[in-house]
Structure formats: C-alpha cells, structure tokens
Amino acid sequence: MGGAGLLSFLAILAFWSVSVARAEDAYKYYTWTVTYGTKWVLGPEDQQIILINGQFPGPTLEAVTNDNIILNVVNKLDEPFLLTWNGIKQRKNSWQDGVLGTNCPIPPNSNYTYKFQTKDQIGSYTYFPSTRMHRAAGGFGALNIYARSVIPVPYAKPAGDFTLLIGDWYHGGHQRLQKILDSGKPLPFPDGFLIHSHDGPTFTGDQGKTYMFRISNIGLSTSFNFRIQGHKLKLVEVEGSHVLQNMYDSLDVHVGQSVTVLVTLDQSVRDYYVVASTRFTDTVYGATAVVHYSNSEIPVSAPAPDGPTTEVEWSIDQARSFRWNLTSNAARPNPQGSFHYGKIKPSRTIVLANSAPIIKRKQRYAVNGVSHINSHTPLKLADYFNISGVFLLNSIPSAPSGSGAKLTKAVMGASLHEFIEVVFQNNEDTLQSWHLDGYDFWVVGFGSGQWTQASRKTYNLVDALTRHTTQVYPKSWTAILVSLDNQGMWNMRSAIWGRQYLGQQFYLRVYNPTQSLANEYNIPSNALLCGKAVGHRHP
C-alpha cells in the first residue's frame, strides 16, 4: 500500500474508531454507602433507619435509556444487605437482580459493584433492599429512566419533574417487624402513612405550566389513592408503558407500582393539598404535601379532598381504563403496539393461587400450596455451577394442587421464548400485589370469583398495557400474558413484603440448554460466592 493509501486507510480507521466510541451507550459510576442513622420519621420519637450516602430516602438514580450503570454498594450495616431494582429488566443478566435467589448478600463491611444496563426502558421505577425486613427501615429510592433525545415522547416537555415515594410506615424498626414474622405472626396494621420525599414536601410551580409527578408505592402492605386538590391528573406512563392520556380526579396505586402523571397548574393562585390515603383498610390513614403556586400568598385550607376508601368496583373500573398507547414510541423508535400479543396463542397456562397457611404452628404464606424458603446458596449459582442438593426443578406446581401446604425452595421451569398465560387466583378477602423480575407483562383481565377458561372472553387483547406489578382484588383473579424472552432465574413474588418474607414467592427458571452469550451473559467476575458455591471458580 502506498503512502497516500496508508494515510487514507488510517484516516478511515480513525473515523470509525471515533464513531464507535461516540455511539457506545453512556457509562455512569456511583458509590453508595449504606449505614444506619437516626431520624424522626413518624412519631412518637426518633427511630433507627437505613441511609444511603446519608440520605433518607436514598439518592434518586437518574438514567437515560440504555445507560450502563456501575454502582458500588458499600455495606456498613451489621447485617448482610442487597438492593434490587424494581422493574429493571436486567436483559440477559439476572446476575444483577439483587435478590437472594440470584445473589449472595453483601456481608457487613464489604462491598459489591452492580453492573447493569437500562436496556430499552423508559419510565418511573424504584429500588429497595431485598434482604430481611430492611425495606421497612429505608434504603429505598427512585429510579427514573428518561427517553433518548432522538426518541420523541407523546407529550410536551414538562416545566418540572417531581418524584414522590409514598407508603405505609411502622414504628420500632425493621428488626421488631422481623421478630414478629419469625415468631409466626402476621404483621400488624401500619402505624401511619408517609409521602417520603421529606418532611412536609412542597412542590412549587408557575401558574399555567405543566409538571410531571412520578408516584410510587414504596410501602410494605397498603394500597393508596393519590390526588391533588382542585387539579386533574393526566396519566401518561405506567411502569414503562405510555398509555392513553385519560384524565383522572385520583388514582389508585398498589404496593410496588409506579405511575407518572402530568398536572397543569390551571387554577387560581394559591396553595393546594397533595393527598395520599390508604385504600381497602378499615382505618384510613392519609399523608399530605403541598402544590405551591410560585406567586401564591394563600396557604392551603382545609378540608383536604376525600378519596375512595373500600370501594373495590371503583378501583377495578379504573384499572380497566388503563390502555396502551399503540401509536406512541416506546424506548425504541417503534410503536408500542407493533407486537401483537393478542394474536399469539399461549403455550401453556399457569394458575397461581395465594394462601395463608399455618405450617409447623407458624403463620406462612404460600403459592399453590408451596411456601418458599431461601437457600444459603443462591439458586442461580447452584444452577450455574451444577451444585446438587440445593433445589429441585418444578418443586412448585403450575396449578393449585389442593394438598396441604409445605416449605421448600420453590422453582418452576420454563423454556426461553415461551409465551405463557398466568392467572393470579386470589381466594382471600384481601387485595394482593404480584411482581415479576426480569420482565414486563400484559395485564389482560380482571374478574371476580374463580377464573375459568370462559374468563378469556373478557380479556383485552387489543391495547392492554404492560407493567411489572399487578394488583389482584379480593376473591378475584387477574390474568397476564408474558413473553419469556429473557433467560435467567427470575423472582415472582408478592410485593406485599410480609407475605414475601414468609414464603409467598418462587423463582421462574427461564432456560435454553444451548449456552450462548446471545441468550445470557456470563457470571460476573466480581460475583460474590456463598453457601455451597464457595470454592467454585469463575470462568
């Protein structure tokens, strides 16, 4: 090659090198130190809480679609600790899910660096501790994923963006609650309700402008209704799905769920109440914040607006009104409705019935008669290293068996790229909330009583939204459709944390016997090893 040709070649190579570097998705680096602290949260006195970098709630993690998150968690508690990323799909990467079936907990005075990508996602999410009852003391926060600038969203850019973490609260700390559960008793009714952003939060905006409110239920057990005095809520996004932009006076948000609304400050200049109050509870708790018009000199005035309390049908009707926006872009430049879920025949149906059995004279919670117990060896590590004696595949049946309840490490097998129907059957007289890690799913139907095959006639097979957590109303059923396109060991659990702690969860092993990086990433080089996995070598 001549000198001119060589220079030309090097110029082209340099151009492509720069182009590739610029095209690579951004990396964001964090170090979070987890400690105990003391704070007055909800009377009568200060209590021990869990802080991240000295903050309660923890820092808001903000990312753009496809960002790579490198987050070093330093555990300064006196107990093992893990964070899970509620609603982040962890594509091909259940290694980073942060639950006890996939990860060894971070020992005291040690650290672990999570490495994950917000792949093809947008929306409002949360993170929280998955270990023990730590979630009851804090360690939680918001995780907001913004769309890339080249992908338009179906609304004008708001003038401001507010995040609200709302939920029930208990006095006395997480260790007291853990002792109650370990003794074989259910959790008592919460001691109160909080809007967790800070004490008496105020959200300030200008008259005539529109603001985004990201609302998440970070509580342990209680649904709430959210409303803003004198203002309408325009629902625009639910857990990563752009939805038809219906207007609501108030919205129900169940445990583990997140919604995003736009609110236009179109009323007279003054201050207005923001209210969250408990749903489906005999005792109604409420928490308030304030929307402050920037030039207002008139404070809020009572009464704060009332919301629904125990009305179930009202909530069901509202849930059915949530519809996918089929013409909107998602995280990628394609219509959300381009995947015609309603035209795919499920390969099988799984029916999951929750129950509250007494096992060995202690309160437990179960799915299809199986109450899950955590293993000292994470199930994912046992599967990867082929360690025997840790779990049995299909140790939980795919339909209620009618036999007595038992304790075991509950794992259900599934094949990669299956398309399945899952029915949550709730025969109890309390509202349930169910979450699936690694996925979102289409919520196609709600109904009362027992689900039957005839119930499929009522499904929404056109524009049901996708989300990661769904409610199941008392003595009712909820049906979802799931495309199992993400290999890994994935936690399906009650989002109601006391029930999860006492066994109402299992792991869905989505598997392809042909090992390929196209299906799943290798075990991380920094993976913590514990239990029977100690001594096994990383690749």
Give the number of domains in the chain.
Answer: 3
What does the pLDDT read at residue 14? 41
Domain that holds residue 467: 341-533
Shared domain for 316 and 406, answered yes or no, is no
pLDDT tens digits, 482-497: 999 999 999 999 999 9
- Is 330 a member of any domain? no
pLDDT band at 473 (very low <50, low <70, confident <90, very high): very high
Shared domain for 317 and 443, answered yes or no, is no
pLDDT tens digits, 350-366: 999 999 999 999 999 99
Lowest-confidence range among 22-26, 99-103, 439-443, 534-538? 22-26
Q: Which of residues 89, 117, 151 is at a domain's end?
A: 151
pLDDT tens digits, 34-74: 999 999 898 788 999 999 999 999 999 999 999 999 999 99
Answer whether residue 198 shows pLDDT above 80: no
| 126 backbone dihedrals φ, ψ, rounded to 5° | -140, 165
Helix or strand or coil: residue 4? helix
CA distance 131 to 472: 25
| 85 backbone dihedrals φ, ψ, rounded to 5° | -110, 95
- Alpha helices (H) in 349-388, listed in sequence order: 379-384
- Is 19 a member of any domain? no
Q: Residue 107, preceding bond cis, omega within 30 degrees?
A: no
Helix or strand or coil: residue 90? coil
Shared domain for 422 and 315, answered yes or no, is no
Shared domain for 235 and 354, answered yes or no, is no
Answer whether residue 16 shows pLDDT above 80: no
- Is 20 a member of any domain? no
Answer whether residue 5 shows pLDDT above 50: no
CA-closest candidate to residue 122, choices 96, 159, 98, 154? 154
pLDDT tens digits, 291-349: 999 999 999 998 999 999 999 999 999 999 999 999 999 898 888 888 899 999 999 99
Average pLDDT, the chain: 94
Ramachandran assignment for 266, one of left (phi > 0), alpha (psi -120 to 50 degrees), beta (any other): alpha
- Is 494 a member of any domain? yes
What does the pLDDT read at residue 539? 66
Shared domain for 316 and 427, answered yes or no, is no
Shared domain for 367 and 434, answered yes or no, is yes
CA distance 392 to 505: 15
What does the pLDDT read at residue 45? 87
CA distance 395 to 423: 19
Shared domain for 137 and 160, answered yes or no, is no
- Is 10 a member of any domain? no
Q: Quick check: 465 and 243 in contact, CB under 8 A?
A: yes
- Is 60 a member of any domain? yes
What does the pLDDT read at residue 523? 97
Shared domain for 51 and 105, answered yes or no, is yes
Dihedral angle computed from the Cα positions of residues 90, 91, 96 and 99, in that order, rounded to the nearest 10 degrees = 60
What does the pLDDT read at residue 403? 83
Compute the average pLDDT of residues 377-391: 97
- Give 509's strand partners: 413, 489
- Is 17 a member of any domain? no
Q: Which of residues 151, 180, 215 is at a domain's end?
A: 151
Residue type, 9: F
pLDDT band at 197 (very low <50, low <70, confident <90, very high): low
Q: Which of residues 289, 324, 359 is at a domain's end?
A: 324
Give the Å distances, CA to CA, from 126 to 88, 219, 459, 518, 521: 9, 11, 29, 28, 24
Residue 458 has a CB neighbour count (10 Å cut-off) of: 12
Shared domain for 427 and 446, answered yes or no, is yes
What does the pLDDT read at residue 118? 98
Asked whether the CA dihedral 20, 22, 24, 29 is positive or negative, the reply is positive
pLDDT band at 4 (very low <50, low <70, confident <90, very high): very low
- Is 331 a member of any domain? no
pLDDT tens digits, 199-257: 679 999 999 999 999 999 999 999 999 999 999 999 999 999 999 999 999 999 999 99
Burial of 515 per CB tally in 10 Å (0-12, 13-18, 19+):
exposed
Shared domain for 117 and 179, answered yes or no, is no
pLDDT tens digits, 405-452: 999 999 999 999 999 999 999 999 999 999 999 999 999 999 999 999
Shared domain for 173 and 319, answered yes or no, is yes
What CATH number does residue 279 fall under? 2.60.40.420
What does the pLDDT read at residue 339? 81
Shared domain for 285 and 382, answered yes or no, is no
What does the pLDDT read at residue 192? 94
What does the pLDDT read at residue 17? 39
